[in-house]
Structure 1
């Protein structure tokens, strides 16, 4: 189930008026202090951050590792306003959509470094095992002032675990009814002058044809992730980090007879992807006696994808690079951040049959300045950034945000910021276009997209005594509003030959709406009820302006109860109607889940989890493909296709 045992009150510190509640999550354990370690650059407490940052903490990652060991897609999809959209039933590719916008407007970071974009931003980007993560930080709305172009819709920052003085050893094994098998291992230890972390994990998944139409709904997958890091401490105030991350994936989807090795003249269709991602990092941090800090970050990632089908093949490579130097200076009631970065990517097709995009490179040099002013009840954060790009000119990006505490019960937060996005024909789209049909971006006639984003929220919290002595009950109410407008949107179009080209539209893309939720802790029960309303529109269209595959209405409720060493819970969410690409409407659907877990002392945990109890599938409402078995056309996905799934995991922790 989707996180019935996840303590997502890391989103809402017990002393704070902080963030929105994840739509589909369930349990939340109070934590005295939650620190934003990267996304705000100032390592401040989440309840005092003017920037609206939501944090899924260490306990969330540990619990998620026993429910969905392979990746973070499920836990991200539990956050209100976030939609994990599967774009291909054959490859299983997915992207992260925030507040109704396409996945290409979401910037994905690892330890504050943007390494996933364009060609390298598709397959496998969410297959980062949660056992290897300390926390996930998420910003909904424009964050380009912090990290440059790309974060128009929002930002997801995955923070790797760090060693502590206590030896950590964790092993986890998982099996699901879809015949998915996971085995993960993590170890870490901090010594006097050095430390280490080490993660290794593997996943094996056999292809599954859930709806028995002859095509795989879940591809055959073999995946290996390795992530060692070394930490050196030359002095008590300085740290040097060296790391390498390698992920190696192979998936095969399509006609089940082909996957099983029995093709014939009527059964030929398949898609196979082999990906290799190697990432190297170097980080230096120096703290000074006046609490100022100097930080240098460098990373380089090499992504290679080999795609083959019964009609085409493509071997291509993309390199991503990032360097940043920043200085943080506290001064009276202010914190100053001054920095510069250089980042970019280089794409190179190496071997192909039908492919029309030549080698290209995009990069930018940015200068940024940020100020955080702390008053008695109000904190104001303002920033400016100027990026100079290789092909699309320069961009000035101001941003301001504030939080005000009226009293111990009421608080409000607001912000506005500008953003931009460099066009890239290989960036994730709302559907997967055939690689052979993509045309390159014309840099002479195509402009970068520019955006402005607004957010406003009000929070109320009340704590009161329960029926039992010393027990504290609470209620938390959050009302948030958002608006993002993207000017000069770069939109895919078809030419007369069926090729896909990209051009600017004269009118903007606009996404607006609100989130409302109520969370309560009543006599050891964790209860949640939430609703998200989104209107996402393509204003350049004369009619049918809705952004396809975006639900306007979404409800969720959860209930969790702990019984000493046991935990049990249920959840239900309703996803409202969505518009297909042909303007017709999908039906709304109900998703339900349940779980139970048992702790055996401090070392063993068993989890039994069931997702999609009602077994709702898109294939129950419509066929997933049209055409023939030799030449299928797959419909865009708007609901689950893998059906009811039960998994059982065993975790050993020393």
Structure 2
């Protein structure tokens, strides 16, 4: 019996010894400063922890076992250590080097899985918090100008709609994502870039060129992935920004955000909110215009211009993102957000819209929510993600001129996205690390738009609730890709199959079923550890469906409009090629990075809108395919230099051509043709410079250069009191929009810092030479910088300001 008990005791003692856990303390520094809230990952993410606000952490490890421990923190180069747990007296010390150029951000947009930006097969640009801060950005649109190959423009002098062009291609050719989901429907995309506050954004990832393999339609020019903030540690921040153009036109913004994490790090919530009020601004209040009769003749006394070039904005947003980790293998994330915007441009802004000479007004609410579930295998080599997102949009509007009583409209939109994907690490395959991604996705989108009434042109009868569009689209997609990462060569091959079903409940002749297959190939070759060569090929497509910008144009006259699709209308398709070389090096303490990228995109079967009136006065928008391809090609260049922690610089420049194969019509006259893709400069670029002359002081310099481009001017309105009678193509001047900011940071209390800032945007007041006045003006005749010279001050309070 004693022998039996002895054997049992020895057995259990051996188990206890084999599984004996010891606590290992550690701390993380950079020089003499401790780094708070760094992430500690053990054995390629098998488990881990986070450092506290003083840079210390605790790991529970098995005695005698060896581990790979990776430490990473925002703004620092990651560091890995092989460690064997021996006893409780051991302590681990990591001394991180600052990543002054932020080249090692974790991104997801290249391959739909988290990886270091330096390791991606495709070039990924990141708009970070540093750029938002340096440029005093309020909304997403403000920060996107600082990406090579990207340019944000104002497309309407009345409503101020902002559009993003990637590699010279118009806004509809860019796929905009929220947390990797295509929630930017056609209805939201027209104004969406100005509706998302940077207070809810962690970073923006930009992939230029065709990306339809992973993210579906519209990614012809590229993909912009807006990554929203997630709870990481206990923090808070409140702030306000006040800017003024002339003492009368002011722009006021206030925001807050807070993040709360449970003690066991299993549950967290991030809550944010913001409010913005911008007054309308008139660029040419001293110009005169006249009323015009039905024959186009001016009459009456001259009138002073009172039409806005920047609309009045009132935008409020609130939202939250919550996560709960059940264990190391299961995590559930949910988010809710609501955005409301009241936007109005034109004249007589304090009167009812139907009493004005022209008004473009929207009152828009966007409610959305999503649920995201992640499962990881114990060895972290398998990751399954399932997601479901829903968005509802309600938009009241008025688009009308000359006291039109029938300019009111109502638009609603519903978007649903659901899907699942698997990420599998197969380990070594063909002497390279193999990573596989596959998934399926379902997208439902509905746009219902109606006029609340219009007067029939034939008999003058009032027609209530005239539908403009009631279109549904459903997309079912499957995608798969595999990446082989070798020491020298990495190869990525993938494809996506989309089947798009379009139903027009107002005009069944517009019903379409469109299959689209799009492959992708990317190669990455490591010439040296710090020098890479990347090349890629991808196709893309855009389905023939209603877009919100179509609605925006069509209802402008307060009349009945019907969109008709050519029975033989095919989807737009694209072929994209790119080749990029980048080099990262450190000379002494100077960190440098240089990128040179060539790109070529051809778009076939472009959508072409033709307008004509029927006998009953109805305006028909006839959408067909053009026989002339569009070709955009050029070179993007980037340079980043950081001589020290006190000084860093980054610049981007693009040289390109954007033309049609044949002359393309752009106006009503047969002679109004051009080979140029209009509103597209052949040269543009940006720069940012940050300098810290003292520990608490920071100065920032930003600049956006826009080269000359061709912009159409249509008849209507007055310039310098003279009527615009003929359509013409204007070659614009060049612009350099420079801004400057100075900020001071100091401690307010033990858990609070306060930062004061002041500066000026568009220092040299670079604006277009001439503006059009009058109710019949061409509202699309806007170009160059969006905002004139503006002085601003800002205040921020938070526990993590630095």
Question: What is the TM-score with the length of structure 2 in the denominator?
Answer: 0.73
* 1:294 corresponds to 2:417: no
1:520 Cα deviation after fit: 2.4
Residue in structure 2 matched with residue 538 of structure 1 by the alignment: 660
Residue in structure 1 matched with residue 706 of structure 2 by the alignment: 575
1:522 Cα deviation after fit: 3.1
CA 1:251–1:121 in structure 2 vs 1: closer, same or farther (change >3 Å)? same
Residue 524 of structure 2 aligns to a residue in which SS? strand
Structure 1 segments unaligned to the other structure (5+ residues)? 1-9, 16-27, 466-471
CA 1:85–1:366 in structure 2 vs 1: closer, same or farther (change >3 Å)? same
Residue in structure 1 matched with residue 753 of structure 2 by the alignment: 603
Residue in structure 1 matched with residue 609 of structure 2 by the alignment: 492
Give the distance between the partners of 2:561 and 2:545, measured in 1 at CA.
11
* 1:623 corresponds to 2:771: yes
CA 1:224–1:38 in structure 2 vs 1: closer, same or farther (change >3 Å)? same
Q: Which of structures 1 and 2 has the bigger CA Rg?
A: 2
* 1:132 corresponds to 2:180: no
Give the distance between the partners of 2:178 and 2:166, measured in 1 at CA.
18
Can you list the C-alpha shifts for 1:533-587, whole angstroms capped at 9, x where unaligned? 1211122426621111111012445443212211113344432110012333111
Task: Indicate conservation of the 8 Å contact 1:425/1:441, yes or no.
Answer: no
Residue in structure 2 matched with residue 81 of structure 1 by the alignment: 149
Residue in structure 1 matched with residue 275 of structure 2 by the alignment: 202
1:188 Cα deviation after fit: 1.2
Q: After alignment, is 364-373 or 201-210 more displaced?
A: 201-210
* 1:55 corresponds to 2:126: yes
* 1:246 corresponds to 2:391: no
Residue in structure 1 matched with residue 516 of structure 2 by the alignment: 395
CA 1:272–1:12 in structure 2 vs 1: closer, same or farther (change >3 Å)? same
1:445 Cα deviation after fit: 2.5
Residue 565 of structure 2 aligns to a residue in which SS? coil
Task: Indicate conservation of the 8 Å contact 1:392/1:443, yes or no.
Answer: no
Give the distance between the partners of 2:652 and 2:237, measured in 1 at CA.
34
CA 1:540–1:263 in structure 2 vs 1: closer, same or farther (change >3 Å)? closer
1:40 Cα deviation after fit: 2.1
Task: Indicate conservation of the 8 Å contact 1:12/1:47, yes or no.
Answer: no
Taking the TM superposition and a 5 Å limit, the aligned residue runs for 1:146-185 are 146-164=214-232, 166-177=233-244, 178-185=249-256
Residue in structure 2 matched with residue 336 of structure 1 by the alignment: 436
1:352 Cα deviation after fit: 2.7
1:641 Cα deviation after fit: 5.0
Can you list the C-alpha shifts for 1:415-447, whole angstroms capped at 9, x where unaligned? 111111012342447995545575424263211
* 1:367 corresponds to 2:478: yes
Task: Indicate conservation of the 8 Å contact 1:13/1:46, yes or no.
Answer: no
Give the distance between the partners of 2:156 and 2:235, measured in 1 at CA.
38
Give the distance between the partners of 1:263 and 1:286, measured in 2 at CA.
53
1:14 Cα deviation after fit: 6.5
Task: Indicate conservation of the 8 Å contact 1:13/1:47, yes or no.
Answer: no
Task: Indicate conservation of the 8 Å contact 2:737/2:766, yes or no.
Answer: yes
1:98 Cα deviation after fit: 0.6
Residue in structure 2 matched with residue 353 of structure 1 by the alignment: 453
Runs of 4+ in 1 over 6 A off after TM superposition: 10-15, 262-265
1:39 Cα deviation after fit: 4.7
Taking the TM superposition and a 5 Å limit, the aligned residue runs for 1:412-451 are 412-428=533-549, 432=553, 434-435=555-556, 436=559, 439-442=562-565, 444-451=567-574
Residue in structure 1 matched with residue 412 of structure 2 by the alignment: 317
CA 1:126–1:588 in structure 2 vs 1: closer, same or farther (change >3 Å)? same
Residue 143 of structure 2 aligns to a residue in which SS? helix
CA 1:442–1:12 in structure 2 vs 1: closer, same or farther (change >3 Å)? farther
Give the distance between the partners of 1:358 and 1:544, measured in 2 at CA.
31
Give the distance between the partners of 1:278 and 1:444, measured in 2 at CA.
35
1:283 to 351, 372, 375: 372
Residue 539 of structure 1 aligns to a residue in which SS? strand
Can you list the C-alpha shifts for 1:332-380, whole angstroms capped at 9, x where unaligned? 1101111100012011125533566331111110111110111112222
Give the distance between the partners of 2:730 and 2:451, measured in 1 at CA.
40
Structure 2 segments unaligned to the other structure (5+ residues)? 1-72, 79-98, 286-304, 428-432, 455-465, 502-511, 665-672, 713-727
Q: After alignment, is 428-437 or 153-162 more displaced?
A: 428-437
1:477 to 585, 594, 603: 594
* 1:642 corresponds to 2:787: yes
Give the distance between the partners of 1:140 and 1:429, measured in 2 at CA.
25
CA 1:264–1:123 in structure 2 vs 1: closer, same or farther (change >3 Å)? closer
1:393 Cα deviation after fit: 2.3
Residue 218 of structure 1 aligns to a residue in which SS? coil
Residue in structure 1 matched with residue 47 of structure 2 by the alignment: none
Give the distance between the partners of 2:241 and 2:656, measured in 1 at CA.
36
Give the distance between the partners of 1:441 and 1:500, measured in 2 at CA.
6
Residue in structure 1 matched with residue 349 of structure 2 by the alignment: 259
CA 1:321–1:262 in structure 2 vs 1: closer, same or farther (change >3 Å)? closer
Can you list the C-alpha shifts for 1:476-495, whole angstroms capped at 9, x where unaligned? 22211011111111122333
Give the distance between the partners of 1:124 and 1:112, measured in 2 at CA.
16
Residue 40 of structure 1 aligns to a residue in which SS? coil
Task: Indicate conservation of the 8 Å contact 1:95/1:428, yes or no.
Answer: no
CA 1:327–1:558 in structure 2 vs 1: closer, same or farther (change >3 Å)? closer
1:58 Cα deviation after fit: 4.5
Task: Indicate conservation of the 8 Å contact 2:103/2:118, yes or no.
Answer: no
Residue in structure 2 matched with residue 269 of structure 1 by the alignment: 358
Alignment RMSD: 2.6
Give the distance between the partners of 1:196 and 1:580, measured in 2 at CA.
47
Greater fraction strand: 2
CA 1:350–1:556 in structure 2 vs 1: closer, same or farther (change >3 Å)? closer
Residue in structure 1 matched with residue 4 of structure 2 by the alignment: none
1:200 Cα deviation after fit: 1.2
Residue 114 of structure 1 aligns to a residue in which SS? coil
Give the distance between the partners of 1:544 and 1:350, measured in 2 at CA.
34
1:116 Cα deviation after fit: 1.3
CA 1:480–1:330 in structure 2 vs 1: closer, same or farther (change >3 Å)? same
Task: Indicate conservation of the 8 Å contact 1:425/1:502, yes or no.
Answer: no
Residue 583 of structure 1 aligns to a residue in which SS? strand
1:68 to 137, 140, 143: 137
Give the distance between the partners of 2:548 and 2:415, measured in 1 at CA.
14
Can you list the C-alpha shifts for 1:53-100, whole angstroms capped at 9, x where unaligned? 212235445x26x8122x110101221111112111221111111111
CA 1:125–1:530 in structure 2 vs 1: closer, same or farther (change >3 Å)? closer
Q: After alignment, is 551-560 or 422-431 more displaced?
A: 422-431
Give the distance between the partners of 2:761 and 2:261, measured in 1 at CA.
38
Can you list the C-alpha shifts for 1:289-341, whole angstroms capped at 9, x where unaligned? 13211100110111111111442111011111101110111011101111100
CA 1:84–1:111 in structure 2 vs 1: closer, same or farther (change >3 Å)? same
Task: Indicate conservation of the 8 Å contact 1:88/1:432, yes or no.
Answer: no
Residue in structure 2 matched with residue 520 of structure 1 by the alignment: 641
Give the distance between the partners of 1:599 and 1:615, measured in 2 at CA.
29
Q: After alignment, is 516-525 or 185-194 more displaced?
A: 516-525
1:457 Cα deviation after fit: 0.8
Count of paired positions: 616
CA 1:494–1:29 in structure 2 vs 1: closer, same or farther (change >3 Å)? farther
Residue in structure 1 matched with residue 691 of structure 2 by the alignment: 561
Taking the TM superposition and a 5 Å limit, the aligned residue runs for 1:104-143 are 104-143=172-211
2:325 to 207, 218, 233: 233
CA 1:356–1:263 in structure 2 vs 1: closer, same or farther (change >3 Å)? closer
Residue in structure 2 matched with residue 468 of structure 1 by the alignment: none
CA 1:461–1:229 in structure 2 vs 1: closer, same or farther (change >3 Å)? closer
Give the distance between the partners of 2:137 and 2:424, measured in 1 at CA.
40
Higher relative contact order (CA 8 A, sep 6+): 1
Can you list the C-alpha shifts for 1:202-221, whole angstroms capped at 9, x where unaligned? 11122222332311122222
Give the distance between the partners of 1:375 and 1:614, measured in 2 at CA.
50
